[in-house]
Amino acid sequence: MNILLTNDDGIYAPGLAALQKELSRLGKVHLAAPATEQSGVGHSITFLEPLVCKQVFDKDVFRGYAVEGSPADCVKLGISVLFGTPIDLVVSGINGGLNAGINVLYSGTVAAAIEGAFFRLNSVAVSLEYDPHADFEMAARIAVRLIEQILRQQTSPPQLYNINIPSSAIKLARSGGHPKVHCVPMGVERYGESYIRRQDPKGRDYYWATNDPPPKRTEQPTDLTALADGHVTVTPLKFDLTDQSSLHEMRSWTMEL
Ligand code: MN
């Protein structure tokens, strides 16, 4: 199996290295990742400028390509041009920080997986709750075990999946326990709309975005509620944004000019 691996934290991020090592159990890992951190860039691509791409070596061993672009650029360029072999699976991560709820739509990590889904490939985004001492090795073991199970049980055409791992699940796994895995929908509660206002030395206002307030807990289980309860989450996603029920209703409308 040929696996394209990318991320949005950049080619030197520890989450990428951990996943590269663990994914090599499943097949050949082809690495194309942003040269610099691209967190929060969503599904942006580079088309007003050339896309600079450099080979990266670990001592004398070729490691992969550092792309001076977005995560979606890496996947698009990787599948189309870089590797000269058909890609079977796209994996993005491990991101340092969860990508759940509406953050999925801001995420460069998830956008890279969505780009893989554009090519009708199985694509998986993996994110770990932010922790300055994050155990990406354990997270990679959990993620790859889940990816194996997804590929084994899937009966539908290739799909797009978003995996999130809370810190508490890592702690449990490290002590020999077995974190629960919940397949849940993406939460759609608005959150993180607070900004801290400060002044620069010239007296101009500037703003820092925060994650506050946290999302309200919903009755229906979502990725956000399951993560808050300490479970690993798997959410199937799709990139077709068409609202089918609205479209159905609109069939009886009159739209004339
Ligand atoms: Mn990131």
Is residue 199 a part of any domain in this protein? no
Distance 114 CA to ligand 1 centre (A): 15
Distance 44 CA to ligand 1 centre (A): 14
Is residue 179 a part of any domain in this protein? yes
Distance 211 CA to ligand 1 centre (A): 15
Cβ proximity of 34 and 66 under 8 Å: yes
Is residue 255 a part of any domain in this protein? no
Distance 14 CA to ligand 1 centre (A): 11
Is residue 50 a part of any domain in this protein? yes
Distance 162 CA to ligand 1 centre (A): 14
Distance 37 CA to ligand 1 centre (A): 7
* Close Cβ partners of 105 (under 8 Å, ≥ 6 residues apart): 42
1-59, pLDDT tens digit by residue? 999 999 999 999 999 999 999 999 999 999 999 999 999 999 999 999 999 999 999 99
The DSSP secondary-structure symbol of 75 reads H
Is residue 194 a part of any domain in this protein? no
Cβ proximity of 88 and 1 under 8 Å: yes
Q: What is the pTM of this model?
A: 0.95
Cross-strand bridge partners of residue 85:
none
Distance 27 CA to ligand 1 centre (A): 25
Is residue 113 a part of any domain in this protein? yes
Q: In this structure, what CATH number is given to the domain that contains residue 40?
A: 3.40.1210.10
> In this predicted structure, what is the pLDDT of residue 156?
85
Distance 93 CA to ligand 1 centre (A): 8
- Angstrom CA distances, 156 to 14, 33, 86, 187, 236, stand at 33, 29, 20, 24, 12
Amino acid residing at 10 = G
Distance 39 CA to ligand 1 centre (A): 4
The number of distinct structural domains making up the chain is 1
* Close Cβ partners of 186 (under 8 Å, ≥ 6 residues apart): 100, 101, 102, 104, 162, 222, 223, 235, 237
Distance 49 CA to ligand 1 centre (A): 23
Which contiguous run of DSSP H or E holds residue 18? helix 14-23
Is residue 86 a part of any domain in this protein? yes
C-alpha–C-alpha distance, residues 94 and 127, integer Å: 5
C-alpha–C-alpha distance, residues 98 and 227, integer Å: 9
Is residue 257 a part of any domain in this protein? no
Full domain range(s) for residue 238: 2-188+218-250
Q: Could you tell me where the beta strands, DSSP code E, fall in 100-165?
A: 122-128, 160-165
> In this predicted structure, what is the pLDDT of residue 107?
97
Distance 140 CA to ligand 1 centre (A): 16
Distance 143 CA to ligand 1 centre (A): 17
60-105, pLDDT tens digit by residue? 999 999 999 999 999 999 999 999 999 999 999 999 999 999 999 9
Distance 97 CA to ligand 1 centre (A): 7
Joined tokens for residue 157? 């055409």
Q: Tell me what the mean pLDDT of segment 135-156 comes to.
A: 97
Distance 244 CA to ligand 1 centre (A): 31
